[in-house]
Amino acid sequence: MKHKMIIAICCALLLSALTGCRLAQENAGTYVYEDRLVGIMVTTEHLDLFDFDSYLHDNISSFQDGEITLDGNTEEYQDRLYATLTTVTLTNEETGETTEIEEYVFEGIEGIPYFSPTIPATAQRDSYISSMSDEAISDGHMAANYGDDENSITLKGTIYTAPSIKYHTYYFNPVYQSADSSIYVTTGSGFMVNNELYSEGLVYSQTMDATAAVTENGRTRTESMSITLSINVMFTPEQIVILQMDEDSGILSRTEYTPDAMPETLLMDTLTDFIIVETHKRDDTGSIRILREIYDSNTDTIGTFFAREDGICVKNWTQLDWK
């Protein structure tokens, strides 16, 4: 158990700087591709990918008095966990039409994926950039810029965590893509959130930046990636109240919902001029706090939150039908 803890710490330190990209080369002098950062996999457990058996075999002479000391030259023993490219069928509930999409899945890992890989071309279509995320990522935003000499992708998002669970530990594990389009994750660093120390609001934010290079026939193009992920504490939503108001600010209707049972669409009364959305939350003292937001007919959708069993608050989207 002692050596495992030492390894976990060393793995986090080694990989936090994101300098572990390797080169894949085909037709020397013609094509060089550097593995590039494409996102992260957030886990609540340490992703132990260190090949201790191989390290032990190669460094048996380092043993002293029953203990082994890692000498820092351990990058070659950092294993990778590869994702599988799978086909997923999506069905439109209203029309019944189906659409097939491809996505990379890390089997056997419970985590929150947030990455933007290139889906390889097939005989039927060209390659394309995709964004793969989880419902735990709220306020997600992806921006892509392409040029002759540089391509860049930026990912931003937030994980909202309820203080009902005292401690959360999040590990930010970098995800890379190789020249053959394979996707793999490596061990990253962790951050512990003690919700008792924070009120509602921002707790922690981490940005990962990396630049890789692709050289074809003597011309080099850079591929840059920036991922910013924030951890926010949010008091647990207990009730959502929708007030439909007329133009004189009179209440036309008042409807209560449990946070995880918000409808997909809200039909507005013909006399509704605006609505008030109340989110009733229980704070760290046990008291109810009410957050009120106002929306008019210029708003098509509203976002409300509910807390999962794991303490993560997920944003629900509800369509507003003003007809």
| Same-domain status, 209 and 171 | yes
The neighbour count for residue 199, using CB atoms within 10 Å, is 11
| Same-domain status, 155 and 173 | yes
Total number of domains constituting the chain: 2
| Same-domain status, 240 and 176 | no
Residue 4 has pLDDT above 80, yes or no: no
| Same-domain status, 25 and 13 | yes
Determine if the pTM surpasses 0.85.
no
70-124 pLDDT, tens digit each:
555 555 556 788 999 988 887 887 788 888 888 899 988 889 999 999 888 888 8
Q: Give residue for tokens 């890379």.
A: 176
| Same-domain status, 178 and 108 | yes
243-294 pLDDT, tens digit each:
999 999 999 999 999 999 999 999 999 999 999 999 999 887 889 999 999 9
Which of 213, 233, 253 is at the close of a domain?
Answer: 233
Q: Give residue for tokens 């992260």.
A: 40
| Same-domain status, 221 and 264 | no
Q: What domain range includes position 201?
A: 2-233
d(CA 258, CA 241) in angstroms, rounded, equals 9
Which of 198, 233, 268 is at the close of a domain?
Answer: 233
| Same-domain status, 228 and 255 | no
